[in-house]
Chains A and B, each alone.
Chain A
């Protein structure tokens, strides 16, 4: 089946620095990838939709200058948390879908990345 992989799985960074998380679709081309954030014991919150070759679409309330998304190829999207602060500490999950966009598309998730800002 389709596989989506994230790297790193865990990262610790100092406050004020930037950190990059990669999301790869391993056996299919994903024109669209999604980035979610999950707070402890909470559901997933969609942050942005990453489109290959164009600017990402951010959800309301998500700072686009803080969470930079680049979808450089059909198999890779990156999320960069800039000038990280402790409140950015969270579990970040990416997902991707294959096939034509549609509400019934199966969406595959990465393993997630734990970010801790100290």
Chain B
């Protein structure tokens, strides 16, 4: 069965510092990987996705993620964090469920940005 692990429940980063959020997946086939961001009380916004090809994926808001098959990882990075990046981040793997595409989510990592 597919699963997604985000080992860090909370991360605190100083504004302007770099960020890396970890994501590990377990999936029997070629993974389709996503990162979503959720601000408090809001829905989810897609940051970036990986299907195939270049393992370094660029997303919106200055985020990028690198797919490493050997490590079963898809970590999210940003070189300089802004206070507005404080939110919850979810890693997800796309899968087929009864003929329909759907997502399996990790438990999320809450990013706190300190001044």
Question: What residues make up the interface of A, taking CB atoms closer than 8 Å to B?
Answer: 4, 6, 32, 34, 42-44, 46, 49, 51, 57, 91, 93, 95, 97, 101-112, 114
| Given known A-B contacts A43-B107, A49-B97, A57-B98, A104 and B41 have beta carbons under 8 A apart | no
Chain A residues with CB under 8 Å of B90's CB are 43-44
Q: Which residues of B contact A103 (CB under 8 A)?
A: 32, 94-96, 101
Cβ-defined partner of A49 (8 Å) among B44, B51, B94, B102 = B102
A101 to B101, CA, bound (A): 5
Pair B43/A102 contact, Cβ less than 8 Å = no
Interface of B (DSSP majority class): strand
Contacts of B101 in A (CB 8 A): 32, 97, 101-105, 107
Residue of A102, A103, A107 most packed against chain B (CB within 10 A): A103
A101-B96, A103-B96, A106-B49 known; A46 vs B102 contact (CB < 8 Å): yes
Question: How many B residues have CB within 8 A of the partner chain?
Answer: 26
Q: Known: A43-B108, A109-B36. Contact between A49 and B42, CB under 8 A?
A: no
A57 to B100 CA separation, bound complex (whole angstroms): 10
List chain B residues, Cβ under 8 A from A42: 107-108
Query: Are A34 and B44 CB-contacts (below 8 A) given A103-B96, A104-B51, A105-B94?
Result: no
B55 at the interface (CB under 8 A from A): no
* B100 and A49 contact, CB distance less than 8 A: yes
Asked if A111 meets B51 with Cβ closer than 8 Å, knowing A49-B100, A103-B96, the reply is: no
**A interface footprint on B80-115 (CB within 8 Å = 1, 0 otherwise):** 000000000010001111111111011110000000
Q: Among A46, A93, A108, which residue has its beta carbon within 8 angstroms of that of B46? A: A108
